[in-house]
A and B are shown apart, each in its own frame.
Chain A
Amino acid sequence: MLNKLKAFWRVVRRLSGDDAYERYLRHHAEQHVDEPPLTREAFFKQWQDGKWKGVKRCC
């Protein structure tokens, strides 16, 4: 039961983008080891600005 709740929480965090920075750090550690990662603030700014560049919502 606890595991299921935890899994549900992970889905909620993933869907809302709450864990975006953690995912970014993981991606960064895998692919771009040579440069330092962005700070939390800087990453979130970039992530949010990028998210609203196109058609994101419908009627």
Chain B
Amino acid sequence: MKTILKNCLWLLIALSGAAAVGGIALHRGESINSLWFIAAALCVYALAYRFYSAWIAARVLMLDASRATPAVRLDNGRDFVPTNKWIVFGHHFAAIAGPGPLVGPTLAAQFGYLPGTLWILFGAVLGGAVQDMVTLFLSTRRNGRSLGQMAREELGAIGGTAALVGTFAIMIILIAVLGLVVVNAMKHSPWATSTVAATIPIAMIVGLYMRHFRAGKVLEASALGVILLLLSVAGGGWVDHNATLRVWFDHEGLTLAWWIIAYGFAAAILPVWLLLAPRDYLSTFMKLGTVIVLAIAILMLQPEVKMPALTQFIDGTGPIFGGKLFPFVFITIACGAISGFHALIASGTTPKLLENERDIRMIGYGAMLLESFVAIMAMIAATVLDPGVFFAINSPAGIVGKEAADAVATISGWGFPVTVAQMDTLAREMGEATLFARTGGAPSLAVGMASIFGSAFGQGLLALWYHFAIMFEAIFILTTLDAGTRVGRFMLQDMLGNIWPKLGETSWYPSVLFTSALVVAGWGYFLYIGVIDPNGGVNILWPLFGISNQMLAAIALSVATGIFVKSGRLKFAWVTALPLTWLVIITSTAAWQKIMSDDVRVGFFAAANDMAAKLASGALPPEKAAVAPQLIFNQQLDAWLTLFFVVILWVVILDMLRVCWRYLAGKPVRPSTEHPHEPAPLNAQWVRD
């Protein structure tokens, strides 16, 4: 009887899920309620978790609850600590969910709500969550080895090196694009700039508090920090209205970019406890708090999504970034659907905390579903705006025109009506001078969030909500920037240590300064170019980031597929080989188009040649001609970088295929590094199960 009831329940969930997905796919009206999105997402996640992840856990990975995990075997009270699964889930989710799932869906909304939503849902359940879960499993069985180590030990030196170099490259691009998002949010906005600037001393106060004043009192210090952050949002409004103070914080993009670069260098060489660690606490609390409040607000308000299901920009003429629906929607939304970066967290940190192997399903698969849900909420927040407003905020001045009148004329001409008066009113409500051409996704997401929060919790505070949302995005973007620069430095020191061992010493100050400067110069260069580019820079950097992130995911899936085949699980290898194939198709196609396309908005070489020809014929206005040589060089560099990513990808794939072929042909392959079975100590909990 109970089974029949259960089956009926799952049948009901399946039917509602199908209805909701069908609803959002086939709906062609003026607007569609956001509850359809929530319902579709929850049903898809529930079904995938209940059936697909359970099947993977039982049949493919054969999770063994009686096997002692590294945390149990190597418990040292520090990095190896057996931890309750909900606590590990919290740590893992806080580590994987960054600003990526908020920015990607916002940009991809230029194709309409449908393509992005479907990719977030199905990419996550068939690709991203599988990648996270399998990587977590493989690393747990190997005492918490990192992805690079696993690639080297299981596939060979080539795969290992490719994984290491790829990780370093993706870090540089990621930091540059995130820095650009923050710069675009702060450009000529004294309120946003002063609030973001205030987060630095606030983090230091919190750091000093929990290091010296009340050592280890993390929660007290964080509560103090959160209160100060909220005050800084209100204080920013005061700065904005103060005629003398506001000029201090009213800057061009380029000035802000230099400040961000200087900040990144300082953060990388300052002690961790002073800036990075306290900032991380604050951003984690802010992130979790805001995501929960946003979910509640969407459920309370059930806003209407006004963006059409598909826009005409699926043909590749979109203003936010160039390129057709296929493959660029899959490149633009990496985090939230499938993100290679997660493989770095799922190997290394999280496996050292697992109390029991069967928790892998909930932590690996479950946490990714939650991140995917965050991406769905970002998609809702972007698409509840009037499409005209959405495009006015996100289209760079180089595409729609510098003057407000030109921009609204162009955008209205696309069939998304918007007026200058409407944009001015909106900017005034949000406490900003203008909202035209505020590219990067953060401002439009903040407007979307502010309008949702404002309708749910009080319309009068729109400007506060807007700047709260900007502060919330900026604080964890800056955390990623700090942490990423530091990780990049460690990697670089590791690589350079092979050439000159002294450089590899992480505590030798000259080496710290030198390698930090190199890493900051790396991302600082791309940030600088992005800021001086009249087309906004995001349209170049974000696809590059997407390609590199998907490449890393492909490396993780290759390692997993290779290990499955080697361990005699060929018939289940499709579980990772399927998403891998899809990633290889989309990254290779996107890279091919970015390099070879004749369309100047897609192809890097085409854009470089086009600009060189215009420069030579004197067709460029003087301010554009001044930066043209740098932009031309950058487009060529980006083309080579894309080529480099795709070569790394194929090297790893071919290496994996070589290992599989050798195994299947009966030739010797590297032995598995899986730790042999050791029984878990019996405890009361097991006996009960």
Contact = CB atoms under 8 A, between A and B. Distances in A.
Q: How large is the interface on A (under 10, 10 to 19, 20 to 34, 35 or more residues)?
A: 20 to 34
A40 B216 contact: yes
Given A56-B487, A59-B339, 8 more contacts: A12-B219, A14-B83, A16-B218, A16-B219, A17-B218, A40-B215, A54-B348, A55-B483
Interface of B: 75, 77-79, 81, 83-84, 86-87, 90-91, 95-100, 146, 174, 178, 210-211, 215-219, 222, 272-273, 276-277, 280-281, 334-335, 339, 341-342, 344-345, 348-349, 479-480, 483-484, 486-487, 490, 545, 549
Contacts of A56: 95, 280, 345, 349, 483, 487
14 contacts: A12-B219, A18-B219, A20-B218, A49-B273, A54-B349, A55-B344, A55-B348, A55-B483, A56-B483, A56-B487, A57-B95, A57-B479, A58-B345, A59-B341
A30 to B, nearest CB: 9
B218 A59 contact: no
What DSSP secondary structure best describes chain A's contact surface? helix
Contacts of A13: 219
A13 to B, nearest CB: 7
Nearest to B347: A55
Contacts of B84: 14
A36 to B, nearest CB: 15
A57 B483 contact: yes
A53 B83 CA distance: 20
Contacts of A52: 272, 276-277, 483, 486
B218 A58 contact: no
Contacts of B487: 54-56
Contact of A21 (B97, B178, B216, B545): B216
Contacts of A59: 98-100, 174, 178, 334-335, 339, 341, 480, 545, 549
Contacts of B344: 55, 58
What DSSP secondary structure best describes chain B's contact surface? helix
Contacts of A43: 216
Interface string A36-54: 0000110111011111111
Given A58-B345, A59-B100, A59-B341, A15 B276 contact: no
B580 to A, nearest CB: 20
Contacts of B95: 56-58
A22 B217 CA distance: 11
Given A52-B486, A59-B99, A14 B87 contact: yes
B408 to A, nearest CB: 33
Interface of A: 11-18, 20-21, 23-24, 27-28, 31, 40-41, 43-45, 47-59
A58 B96 contact: yes
B100 A58 contact: yes
Contact of A20 (B99, B178, B216, B276): B216
A24 B78 CA distance: 8
Contacts of A24: 77
A12 to B, nearest CB: 7
Which of A13, A21, A50, A59 gathers most chain B CB within 10 Å? Answer: A59
Contacts of A48: 211, 272-273, 277
A14 to B, nearest CB: 5
Nearest to A21: B216
Contacts of B486: 52
Contacts of B276: 52
Contacts of A53: 490
Contacts of B549: 59
A56 B95 CA distance: 6
A8 B92 CA distance: 18
B355 to A, nearest CB: 13
Which of A11, A27, A31, A52 gathers most chain B CB within 10 Å? Answer: A52
B342 A15 contact: no
B383 to A, nearest CB: 22
Contacts of B273: 45, 48-49
B558 to A, nearest CB: 19
Contact of A44 (B83, B90, B216): B216
A14 B342 CA distance: 23
B99 A28 contact: no
Contacts of B281: 16
A43 B218 CA distance: 13
Contacts of B277: 48, 51-52
Nearest to B212: A41
Contacts of B81: 23
Contacts of A12: 219
Which of A12, A47, A48 gathers most chain B CB within 10 Å? Answer: A48
Nearest to A53: B490
A3 B399 CA distance: 59
A13 B345 CA distance: 22
Contacts of B91: 15
B219 A57 contact: no
B223 to A, nearest CB: 10
A57 B78 contact: no
Contacts of B222: 16
Given A56-B95, A57-B280, A50 B341 contact: no
Given A31-B77, A58-B98, A15 B272 contact: no
Contact of A49 (B98, B100, B272, B545): B272
B226 to A, nearest CB: 12
Contacts of B100: 58-59
A1 to B, nearest CB: 20
Which of A12, A16, A55 gathers most chain B CB within 10 Å? Answer: A55
B339 A58 contact: yes
A12 B174 CA distance: 30
A59 B335 CA distance: 7
B565 to A, nearest CB: 27
Contact of A28 (B75, B77, B79, B545): B77
A57 B339 CA distance: 13
A55 B215 contact: no
Given A56-B95, A57-B95, A18 B483 contact: no
A56 B79 CA distance: 13
Given A55-B345, A57-B479, A18 B218 contact: yes
Contacts of B75: 27
Contact of A18 (B96, B217, B345, B490): B217
A11 to B, nearest CB: 7
Contacts of B79: 50
Contacts of A58: 95-98, 100, 335, 339, 341-342, 344-345, 480
A45 B335 CA distance: 33
Contacts of B349: 54-56
Q: Which 7 A-B residue pairs are closest in the complex by CB-CB distance?
A: A59-B100, A27-B77, A44-B216, A57-B483, A18-B219, A55-B344, A18-B218
A51 B100 CA distance: 23
